[in-house]
Amino acid sequence: MRSATAAYQFARIVVCFIAATTMLAFDDHATAADCQFDMFGEGRVGSIADARTVRLEDGRDIRLDGIEVANVDTTSAADVSTLTRLLLGRVVTLRGENDAPDRYGRQRAWVFRDGESVSVQTLLLAEGAALASGSVADADCAAGLLAAEATARSARRGVWAGRAVIKNAESPGDILARIGRFTVVEGKVLSARQAGAMFYVNFGRRWTRDFAVTIPRRAMASIERAGIPLKSLENRRIRVRGWIQQRGGPRIEVSRPGQIGLAE
């Protein structure tokens, strides 16, 4: 087992290069210091709304930040069962950058069971009951989530046991079937170039059919500062995560470093 310090440093690298196959000895306790945002509340979980949302006994709806489920249009009984086992009836502490509700009235938060230092999000990822969203701005927190996900993937737990969670970039039809859903796609980059205010990472030659990643200019600098030189992605095998859109062929727009990394 790696020491906590070594595992912590390794996890920081993962936020830039998602080298999942090298992370077989991940130590769950290495993330204990991650995602420790300011505390803004606490309460007891009264019910489970879905695989990412709980309702406290005082009526507040809490959306677990930093994670997604493999199929966001439906919630499997297994996903809800895991969250129920972890949280129903438990006193929890809520952490986050702010407590402002979203447009649905839910508060987005990092949820910790009373007296514990590892987030429920990390526990769900390590059990294969969720996917890391890649949208977390804090590098340490994002790295810890990706590391927990890699643990489940290497052990084939939960969603990684049988479903084809990672889609092949060479099968645009399969990806296109997931419009509006959070998806992880992997493949070899054919070309990587900037055109105007957008950077394009192309996996095929046919814009009207093949899968591509788009990166707006406002996000390019932060991604490169995180250690991902965009032009060097050409001919590399990468993994990208995000919401599937259709713009000609299927697309994922990347705005955070944690959404993209090497899969080699």
Render pLDDT for 34-53 as a digit per residue (tens, 0 to 9): 688 999 999 999 999 988 99
Q: What is the mean pLDDT of residues 88-108?
A: 91
Structure tokens at 18: 């998602």
**pLDDT at position 71:** 66
Number of structural domains found in the chain: 2
Strand, coil or helix: what is 57? coil
83, pLDDT greater than 80: yes
From 143, 160, 177, the end of a domain falls on 160
Q: 173 lies in a domain?
A: yes
Could you tell me if 191 and 113 lie in one domain? no
Chain-centroid distance of CA 237 in Å reads 19
- Check residue 213 and give its pLDDT: 98
Residue 86 lies in a domain: yes
Q: Which parts of 15-100 fold into alpha helices (H)?
A: 77-87
Does residue 209 sit in the same domain as residue 109?
Answer: no
Out of 114, 134, 160, pick the residue that ends a domain.
Answer: 160
Whether residue 171 sits in one domain with residue 44: no
pLDDT beyond 60 at 28: no
147 shares a domain with 189: no
Shared domain for 248 and 188, answered yes or no, is: yes
> What angle, rounded to 10 degrees, do the helices at 4-14 and 139-155 form?
100
Q: Which of 160, 191, 208 is the last residue of a domain?
A: 160
- Give me the amino acid identity at 18: I
Whether residue 193 is predicted with pLDDT greater than 80 in this model: the reply is: yes
Least confident of 28-37, 109-118, 231-240: 28-37
Q: In this structure, are 24 and 131 located in the same domain?
A: yes
240 with 129, same domain? no
Q: Are 31 and 147 in contact, with CB atoms under 8 Å apart?
A: yes
- Is residue 95 a part of any domain in this protein? yes
Number of other CB atoms surrounding residue 159 within 10 Å: 23
Say whether both 109 and 64 belong to one domain.
yes
Q: What pLDDT shows up at residue 163?
A: 66
Task: Give a yes or no: residue 141 inside a domain.
Answer: yes
Q: Which residue has the higher pLDDT, 205 or 2?
A: 205
- 2 domain-assigned: no
| Matching residue, tokens 């079937």 | 177
Judged against a pLDDT cut of 50, whether residue 113 lies above it is answered with yes
Residues 97 and 174 in one domain: no
Looking at the fold, whether 207 and 254 belong to one and the same domain comes out as yes
Mean pLDDT, residues 195-206 taken together: 95
Domain hosting 196: range is 166-262
| pLDDT tens-place string over residues 126-171 | 999 999 999 998 888 988 999 999 999 999 998 898 768 899 999 9
What is the rounded distance in angstroms from the CA atom of residue 235 to the CA atom of residue 79? Answer: 36
Beta strands in 26-81 (DSSP E): 39-50, 53-56, 61-64, 67-68
3 assigned to some structural domain: no
Residue whose pair of structure tokens reads 């995560």 in the numeric block: 241
pTM for the model stands at 0.81
Tell whether 140 is covered by a domain. Answer: yes
Say if 4 falls within a structural domain: no
User: What pLDDT shows up at residue 138?
Assistant: 87
Whether 133 and 119 share a structural domain = yes
CATH number of the domain encompassing residue 88: 2.40.50.90
CATH number of the domain to which 237 belongs: 2.40.50.140
